[in-house]
Structure 1
Amino acid sequence: MEPTGDDRIHGTPPQLAEPVVCPPPPLRSRRHRVHAVLLGLLVVAVSAVPAIAFLLAHAQYSQSEAERQAELARRHQVSAVLQQDIGGVDSLLPLGSGGTSVDARVSWTQADGSLRTAVAPVPAPGSSGETTTVWLDEAGNPVEEPAPPSRAVLDAAAVAVAALLCGGAAVLILYATEQKLFMRSRQRAWTRDWDRIGPTWTAAA
């Protein structure tokens, strides 16, 4: 509204239309606070995944090593003599098979001094008449060699990798879901605010 000549003469201030004042939205609404809390929990979860993986791997290593020690306690090894070639035409293991042990006929002296001949797992390759090693159980029967110490390490590593992958995937899924729900909530809030304020702005214009 332009001031008239009388207004300028008498010093009467011009009458301006009152602007439409929209109340500012709260700086941190409830959904923002919930969003911040959930993000904080996700950060904690990300930090906890490696620790959980380590604990699971340590438990797996302890279990595997305990089983290996139990096998060692129940088994013992003796020297035996091969009664056939291993890795040759008379062997039960084909040439080029790449195996490190095979069932072969061997003979060894038992605790009572008697000679026993049987098929037992032995390291390959070898020739008939050579000395080899045979593992026996408590009853004196041939058994497989106990797992090496590296088996416990491999078991623990496998558990750690699986835990890291599963934990990381779970955190990513939770983060994506939370972000999607938060953005939907913000969009609904903007729509409600516009439905309430938009007509006022349009009328003022």
Structure 2
Amino acid sequence: MAEFWLMPVTAVLITVGAPAVGVVAAHAVQARDPLTRGTHSVRAVLTEDPPARIGVDAATAAGARARATVRWTAPDGSVRHGRVAVPAGARAGAHTTARLDRSGHLLRDAADPSRAQAEGVAVGMVAASSGALLLLGAARGARLLLDRRRDTQWERAWERVGPDWGGAPD
């Protein structure tokens, strides 16, 4: 009877539990990122081209970033300027995102919120997969214990009945 319910219960736990573990892990990773907590994004415009990176061609600079001056409008309507990391291939006049703290000051080394989100998704996927594998391992272990218990019961029964099956006829 226990083995009958073992696989359906395991399937339900994997279907519900593994994604729940993944979501909790993803939220935990995103919430612990101090650079994205208490910040907000503003749309900014590059006022200059980022400096050229010596020895780096366009093909290898796909993910490269450089610091350049940007301009944005604060909530009070004043125009602000600051330097932020932008894609190395960006040009003056291009739009980018700047991160500000609660008081409206530019965060120079602010993490990209999409990076924190991507890390959260990756950790969530690993946690969900690990949870599913753990549940499958536990189900396999429970099945081995049930098999061992049945084998022990079968051996005891055979010890009682076995001598009557063998031997020479009378």
* TM-score, with length taken from structure 2: 0.65
1:159 maps to 2:135? no
User: How many angstroms apart in 2 are the aligned matches of 1:135 and 1:92?
Assistant: 25
Match of 2:87 in 1: 123
1:135 maps to 2:101: no
What is the CA deviation profile of residues 5-61 of structure 1, one whole-angstrom value per residue up to 9, with x for unaligned ones? xxxxxxxxxxxxxxxxxxxxxxxxxxxxxxx3x314423432332221233234345
Q: What corresponds to 2:111 in structure 1?
A: 144
Shift of 1:113: 4.5
Change (3 A) 1:94 1:177: farther
Task: Please give the alpha-carbon distance, in whole angstroms, between the structure 2 residues aligned to 1:121 and 1:53.
Answer: 37
State the secondary structure of the residue aligned to 2:47: strand
Cα distance, 1:159 vs structure 2: 3.1
Seen in structure 2, the aligned counterparts of structure 1 residues 163 and 184 have a Cα distance that, compared at 3 Å, is same
Question: How many percent identity over aligned positions?
Answer: 13
Aligned length: 157
- Rounded to whole Å, the distance in 1 between the matches of 2:144 and 2:3 is 11
SS of the equivalent of 1:71 reads coil
* Structure 2 Cα separation of the partners of residues 175 and 76 of structure 1: 53
Q: Find the aligned partners of 1:115 and 1:50 in 2 and give their Cα distance.
A: 50
The structure, 1 or 2, with the larger RCO (C-alpha pairs under 8 Å, 6+ apart) is 2
- Superposition pairs for residues 42-121 of structure 1, below 5 Å? 42-47=6-11, 48-60=13-25, 63=28, 71=36, 74-77=39-42, 78-85=44-51, 90-91=52-53, 94-95=56-57, 96-97=59-60, 99-102=62-65, 104-109=66-71, 111=74, 113=79, 115-116=81-82, 118=83, 120-121=84-85
Q: CA distance change for structure 1 residues 93 and 135 in 2, over 3 Å: closer, same or farther?
A: farther
CA distance in 2, matches of 1:98, 1:184: 66
**Residue identity opposite 2:142 in structure 1:** L
- Select between 46-55 and 57-66 the one with higher mean Cα deviation: 57-66
Q: Is the 8 A contact 1:79 1:131 kept in 2?
A: yes
In 1, distance between residues paired with 2:136 and 2:112?
A: 38
Q: Cα offset for 1:185?
A: 2.8
From the CA coordinates, give the structure whose radius of gyration is larger: 1
Unpaired runs of 5+ residues, structure 2, are: none
**Can you give the 5+ residue segments of structure 1 that lack an aligned partner in the other structure?**
1-35
